[in-house]
Chains A and B, each alone.
Chain A
């Protein structure tokens, strides 16, 4: 029982006003500038940089996919490149051996990897996170070995995917926009998941899995769903990559380095945020491109040191710093510039 003179919650709200809602302006402005930029970029970029940007998008898709299972759910799928490779191989095999059109093959790759993730994920996602991490690495290796030894995959020689009968410039633009569209979709799906029950369930699992289970959340099923979504988009990235590069072999698509690259990118940008992984992938891939070009001999060394430095100094991700910047205040100032009514001027005087 509270004392009779204690003000109720309604009275408190009336006295201090509603808690300020964070302004959406910074996000909207940033996103529209960014989308205009990436849409118009092909007009000025040459063929080489178009291809670099396509790889950046492909890695951003994968980093965002890892984010769904690792960033939100806390299950560090360090071997997620298994879906990249399998997606690439489904596209490679179906287009060359069965002459399926590319678009259908891409969809098949996504569906195939979802099935793979559910079948494998349901038993191994009952394990605790650390065992799951090792299991995904094991899955990556074993899948590569199987693909290497199956007859129809071409073994260690790999597969040359069909080259589209269009000009190279057009093909470059096609893959650029295709990767961009998939990236936008995966970002949107992540945003949707975050805002709905599934996101709540996933974060509950990350925070305290026992408690989440006690609250009636079917944790294994939610984790499997998250991994399946992750697998779907990683497979699309792999499928695009297979056609984009026109050649795949087991050693290059089932690579643990690719796997850890997408993982570290999502951490660097900000695990468990919608835009962090995209930011992380963009910065690290462009940086890696630069390192690759300048330090061919010590590429791994520079990359390795970079990875260690990131874990030491930015373990929470870049987006953890943006929260400290008073973006709302800047946005309000910018918004005022566009406002004509005198109320705005009055506001700016105090």
Chain B
């Protein structure tokens, strides 16, 4: 029983991270309809950048979040501006998924060339610290990750809700033609949205770096979680992503408790496919932030 409770707590701690992992993908998909297959590889690049800053300047992994976010925002902004927008303009939205897969291959190979296939890790001075709460183990790093995830998603929510750019993003997502008629530069908004998606992926990479080993192929197992969060939470729905992340995190850790670690990936994909079949509009039932 105590172990089951521990599994639930682990799931809750993981849930915040899952939310931030999926929300960038969800945003990009919700606004533009682009299925970004490179999303998980952007997470990988974010983790590697964190590792590089940590090993070169001893920068704390959580302090490198803004730097990584800016770098990945710029990179993704350029990708959208010069590659994906040109496809969407000519009416080949369906081809963007293939482009992002090409980008995915490039990113993996570049990571392999720069950082080699060796397992890398970020070990901080407080990595081993954990609190004991009535028999439950609460590692400090995971608590920080949960808190930061919630803070970042809150900022994202406020950005979409209140700022002018955020309002423009929502307008484009709801009705592209109407937004254009209101004088919104739709393709500019697309570039910003993809940049935001990349920045969120990079931040997820920063948060992941202290608790996971970093390899060029670390992205592949994350993609299932990314899909599940996006579909479960509703596309572009930030609150939904948080809820979906937590549901998924708990379902996964509890599932692993009953079935064993071998089935961890299968569980996240099974949840994804079941939600698609039973309730494709997600748990919240809302397509986008209103």
Contact = CB atoms under 8 A, between A and B. Distances in A.
Nearest to B227: A134
Interface stretch (A52-60, A144-152, A167-175): A144-152
A156 to B, nearest CB: 10
A123 to B, nearest CB: 5
A315 B84 CA distance: 12
Interface stretch (B145-153, B178-186, B193-201, B262-270): B262-270
B133 interface: no
B197 to A, nearest CB: 16
Nearest to B98: A311
Contact of B224 (A133, A141, A300): A141
Contacts of A139: 273
Main secondary structure of the interface of B (DSSP, over half): helix
A267 B105 CA distance: 18
B231 interface: yes
Contacts of A350: none
Interface residues of B, number: 41
Interface string B90-134: 101011111101111110111011000000000000000000000
B99 A303 contact: no
A72 interface: no
A305 B110 CA distance: 12
Contact of A307 (B98, B108, B263): B98
B273 A304 contact: no
A307 B269 contact: no
Given A308-B102, A315-B92, A300 B35 contact: no
Contacts of A307: 98-99, 101-102, 105
A303 to B, nearest CB: 6
Main secondary structure of the interface of A (DSSP, over half): helix
A138 B99 contact: no
Contacts, number: 114
A135 B102 CA distance: 20
B86 interface: yes
A142 B87 CA distance: 31
Nearest to A261: B101
A301 B97 CA distance: 17
Interface in A21-40: none
A131 B266 contact: no
Contact of B266 (A133, A134, A142, A315): A142
A149 B263 contact: yes
A137 interface: yes
B190 interface: no
B106 A138 contact: no
Contacts of B112: 300
B280 interface: yes
A1 interface: no
B144 interface: no
A297 interface: yes
B272 interface: yes
A127 interface: yes
Contacts of B159: none
Nearest to A257: B105
A324 to B, nearest CB: 18
A141 B265 contact: yes
A76 B231 CA distance: 18
B33 interface: yes
B269 A145 contact: yes
A123 B109 CA distance: 37
Interface string B71-99: 00000000000010011001010111111
Given A131-B280, A307-B99, A76 B105 contact: no
10 contacts: A130-B29, A130-B35, A131-B231, A138-B227, A138-B269, A300-B105, A303-B102, A304-B101, A304-B104, A308-B103
Which are the 6 A-B pairs with shortest beta-carbon distances?
A: A307-B102, A304-B105, A304-B106, A145-B266, A300-B109, A301-B109
Given A264-B98, A308-B103, 17 more contacts: A124-B273, A131-B231, A131-B276, A131-B280, A141-B223, A141-B265, A142-B265, A142-B270, A145-B265, A145-B269, A298-B109, A300-B109, A301-B106, A304-B109, A307-B102, A307-B105, A311-B102
